[in-house]
Structure 1
Amino acid sequence: MTFRRATAGIALVLGLATTGVPAQAADPIKIGFFAPLTGNLANFGERFRESVQLFEEQVNTAGGIEGRKIEVIYEDDRNSPKEAASIAQKFANTPGLVFAVGSFSTTASLAAAPILTEAKIPQVSPSSSHPDFPKFSPYQFRQNTRQDKLAPLHAELVVDKLKGKKIAIPFFQDDWGQTTANLTKAAIEQRGGEVVLIEPIAPNARDFRPLVSKIKALNPDVIFLPVHYQEASAFVQQLRQAGVTTPIGSPDPLSNPKFLELAGKDAEGILLYTSFFADDPRVKAYVDAYKAKYNRLPDQYSALAYDSIAVGVNAIRTVLQSGKPLTGENVRDAIASAPAYEGLTGTTKYDDEREVNKKSTFIIIKNGAYVLY
């Protein structure tokens, strides 16, 4: 796999200022943002928020969009469908709000979708990967590749890269985890592998001894781990403490630095993939700006959120320059028909189903850091 990165994310921001109407002559353009800023997925939401705030600051410092500032309204959905729906209603009742970024999980994103759709507010999720998300209505988009297109990559990782014939799949007990596990199982079997265990891990679970014992008895060649960083770190630690040295492969959620912090030395050797790598020279401008503001490196989820708001703001600019009314409906149309955007996580060009197809690259954890495989 190869990177397809560009400095277009920063270039887009720097190109937004114009010599048009002065900013004070028009109200700011309102954009909604919702993600889990508290709870067991808060690290993902915080990464989202940091990048969106960085983008907002860069746009406004550069003069705004056609002379108008953007104003992002930040909300914490706690990964709760009920909270996400409530936030969507708030956005729908906010005059002038024409675009929304969110949420992290497909469950929360879909809970907001009916309300945003009725209000004709386009929604871009940085990370909702369930195949059904954009099918809800023409107003739903995503920045990442959907799970059924990633399943062959998962099978390649465990069968070809890690040489697994018998694979165990403990999965996170939500829509994402269930879908990922089932699609990956099918892809592994198509590749000639055998899945000897497929079992859920409950959110906030801490004691994995029964599951570890079961895996130890089955003696798989590889463990595939579609589990978020908090539960995954505890599972990996207890697995290694039990003397199980089975190689582990993972999808991209474990490309989160918080996982390295929590799992420590027990994360060593885990093989996974990402659509963003901070050491890539083509994303240097963004990485430098992010590090200067937050004193840490961005990760894939930071970059996906940056690309998500960039796509929406680019569409808003297109509408303003066209002379059409700035409405959510017109912004939706501009997102759907926009030319390819070369961002931090690859190329965003929506097909007729509002899907993207981005390249990923394999990385491995060595000496407490992510390095190219």
Structure 2
Amino acid sequence: MSMNRRQFSQAVAALAATSATPLLWAAQAIKIGYVSPQTGPLAPFGEADKWVIDQMKAAFKDGIVVGGTRHAVEIVLKDSQSNPNRAGEVANDLILKEKVALMLTAGTPETANPVSDACELNEVPCVSSVVPWQPWFFGRNGDPRQGFDWTYHLFWGLEDVIAAYTNGWKGLQTNKKVGGLFPNDGDGNAWGDKKLGFPKPQADMGLSLTDPGRFQSGTQDFSAQIAAFKRDNVEIVTGVVIPPDAKTFLTQARQQGFKPKAVTLGKALLFPSALEALGDLGLGLSTEVWWSPSHPFTSSLTRQSAQALADSYEAGTRKQWTQPIGFAHALFEVAANALARSKSLKAEDVRNAVASTSIDSIVGPVKWGGPGPMKNVSRTPLVLGQWRKGHQRKVELVIVNNGAATNIPAGGAMQLL
């Protein structure tokens, strides 16, 4: 069951109830900055953010007690416009003009990386998500021996998405020939990287990869890629592209007589709106699932299950649930937990509280400095999903392989297109 507003507020008020004596409200509100793509080609990544922020305003109505003083909480949302330069600009506005105590950001390297860089430079604590950890860490020239001082990240990595995809393909009858669509952007360059990305582990598994090279996002012609895939008798297509590019590629593939047995793409196939735009081209396509209503996790902040959070979103927006809901919510779980533990609102104290976070969140356990790949990275679980014709909706995302995270239930087996 979903929580009502009163129950929701009571759950969060527990954060503030750290003293038996009444606490005075501080004149200064805590400002939390949030940067995500609200417009532009990456806007589906930020579609749920305003709803989540409205939920958080209710959650924080009684403020948060920091160092013995109760503060009101103000959340300031800024639009990256799907543009890295703009993301950096609005991050600097939040840091220098709004004087945020903590920055949150999500939605591909084009938003999260420049925001994280601005925070690292200005010594402001930042928590980011919705970028595989390698393009976030190495894309910012991170040194594995030192890590970062002010920026912390929660999401899965390329090792997880490679495992999820290949686990799904193992159950299909194919010739093991894979075609890669890797654009010239933060994700594409990481996924196609010969050492960090798909090529080496695929070769180790006996899969051959045809990579026709980098292309610009927004391209109108995939004839060269399709010709290369047909020449090499490719039966599986993978990659990481924006939704408009997926539609262009799939439409032109059909027109040019290229019929793969499986199409598993990151980024483009995450959202119900993108699948509806594809029409019958979308049925049977597969993608990674980072969060869903069937994930067996509960919010540390509102005590909602993943199912209850998705139901609440659908009831409040009349839209189908979408994966970024869980991670936007989880970022605020970290913020609330860290601020409530911080000794003061000084940047170093807030940063130290973030770094020592250890919670069970709506997206799974979040903990830095532990068994993760880097001290600044907390990995979250990943499974594989396939889009099917829905019972209640036009399309539904069914988890078809949970080999890498067996605690997340599967709803069926992967099928050939």
- TM-score scaled by length of structure 1: 0.86
Q: Quote how far apart the aligned CAs of 1:94 are.
A: 3.6
1:336 aligns with 2:350: no
1:60-100 CA-partner distances (Å, limit 9, x unpaired):
34x22234331111111123222222222212214651111
The alpha-carbon distance between structure 1 residues 65 and 360, as it changes in their structure 2 partners (threshold 3 A), is same
1:113-152 residue pairs with structure 2 within 5 A? 113-131=116-134, 133-134=136-137, 135=142, 137-152=148-163
1:362 aligns with 2:384: yes
| Cα root mean square deviation, aligned | 2.7
1:292-337 CA-partner distances (Å, limit 9, x unpaired):
3222233221211111122122100111xxxx22122212111111
Specify every segment of 5 or more residues in structure 2 that has no aligned partner in the other structure, as ranges: 297-304, 390-394, 401-417
Residue in 1 aligned with 2:308?
Answer: 285
More displaced stretch, 259-268 vs 206-215: 206-215
More displaced stretch, 114-123 vs 363-372: 114-123
More displaced stretch, 305-314 vs 241-250: 241-250
Residue in 2 aligned with 1:4?
Answer: none
Tell me if structure 1 keeps the 8 A contact 2:164–2:384: no
Matched to 2:166, the amino acid is A
2:57 counterpart SS class: helix
1:8-32 CA-partner distances (Å, limit 9, x unpaired):
xx79746435376568544321011
Equivalences, count:
358
- TM-score scaled by length of structure 2: 0.78
Matched to 1:265, the amino acid is D
The alpha-carbon distance between structure 1 residues 130 and 269, as it changes in their structure 2 partners (threshold 3 A), is same
1:1-373 residue pairs with structure 2 within 5 A? 13=12, 15-18=14-17, 24-51=25-52, 53-61=53-61, 63-66=62-65, 67-94=70-97, 96-131=99-134, 133-134=136-137, 135=142, 137-159=148-170, 163-182=174-193, 183-246=197-260, 247-251=262-266, 254-280=269-295, 282-319=305-342, 324-339=343-358, 341-351=359-369, 353-367=375-389, 368-373=395-400
Q: Quote how far apart the aligned CAs of 1:270 are.
A: 1.5
Tell me if structure 2 keeps the 8 A contact 1:304–1:345: yes
Tell me if structure 1 keeps the 8 A contact 2:133–2:377: no
Tell me if structure 2 keeps the 8 A contact 1:273–1:360: yes
Q: Quote how far apart the aligned CAs of 1:38 are.
A: 1.4
Whole-Å separation in 2 of the counterparts to 1:177 and 1:157? 21
The alpha-carbon distance between structure 1 residues 160 and 85, as it changes in their structure 2 partners (threshold 3 A), is same
Whole-Å separation in 2 of the counterparts to 1:23 and 1:144? 37
Over the matched positions of the two proteins, sequence identity in percent amounts to: 20
Matched to 1:176, the amino acid is D
The alpha-carbon distance between structure 1 residues 54 and 237, as it changes in their structure 2 partners (threshold 3 A), is farther
Whole-Å separation in 2 of the counterparts to 1:148 and 1:23? 49
Deviating 4+ runs (over 6 angstroms): none
Whole-Å separation in 2 of the counterparts to 1:19 and 1:113? 32
Tell me if structure 1 keeps the 8 A contact 2:246–2:268: no
1:174-193 CA-partner distances (Å, limit 9, x unpaired):
01112112311111011111
The alpha-carbon distance between structure 1 residues 365 and 130, as it changes in their structure 2 partners (threshold 3 A), is same
The alpha-carbon distance between structure 1 residues 84 and 95, as it changes in their structure 2 partners (threshold 3 A), is closer
Specify every segment of 5 or more residues in structure 1 that has no aligned partner in the other structure, as ranges: 1-6
Q: Quote how far apart the aligned CAs of 1:148 are.
A: 4.2
Q: Quote how far apart the aligned CAs of 1:224 are.
A: 0.8
Matched to 2:64, the amino acid is I
Highest relative contact order (Cα 8 Å, sep 6+), 1 or 2? 1
Tell me if structure 1 keeps the 8 A contact 2:241–2:267: no
